[in-house]
């Protein structure tokens, strides 16, 4: 079983790699990293709401009862949690979708980032 610490490391690696992407690209990067590590996860597409503000199209990931969202603050501001969390004032309402990010898309999305040439197994 994968540790929470390892999942957090991958979430941070995904945040670093996807710092210039929006939620769809960020989720694809994390999807690739989790799949590469053999970590079971679910991808969602839906809307997020916080303090009356609705973002009608948003992607996020769940692992167990953990939310993984590296782009919530992009849309909702600094008061909402970002990264990996269980409790949140943000309302996540969406449906699970199938996502299988190929290596070519991962490389395209992360090209030019400081961590682009990382070895994924480290």
Indicate if the pLDDT at residue 71 is higher than 90.
yes
Helix (H, G, I), strand (E, B) or coil at 102: coil
The answer to the question of residue 53 being in a domain is yes
The answer to whether position 118 is within a domain reads no
Token representation of residue 60: 């996020």
How far apart are alpha carbons 73 and 96 in whole angstroms? 22
The total of structural domains in the chain comes to 1
The predicted pLDDT at position 2 comes to 85
Residue 66 lies in a domain: yes
Range of the domain at 9: 4-110
Q: Does 117 reside within a domain?
A: no
pLDDT in tens, 24-58: 999 999 999 999 999 999 999 999 999 999 999 99
């Amino acid at each position: 079983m994968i540790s929470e610490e390892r999942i957090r490391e991958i979430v941070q690696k995904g945040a670093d790699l996807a710092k210039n992407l929006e939620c769809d690209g960020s989720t694809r990067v994390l999807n690739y990293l989790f799949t590469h590590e053999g970590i079971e996860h679910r991808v969602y597409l839906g809307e997020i709401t916080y303090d009356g503000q609705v973002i009608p199209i948003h992607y996020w990931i769940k692992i167990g009862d953990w939310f993984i969202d590296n782009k919530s603050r992009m849309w909702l501001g600094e008061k909402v949690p970002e990264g990996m969390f269980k409790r949140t004032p943000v309302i996540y309402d969406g449906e699970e979708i199938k996502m299988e990010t190929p290596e070519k898309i991962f490389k395209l999305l992360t090209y030019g980032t400081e961590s682009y040439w990382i070895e994924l197994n480290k």
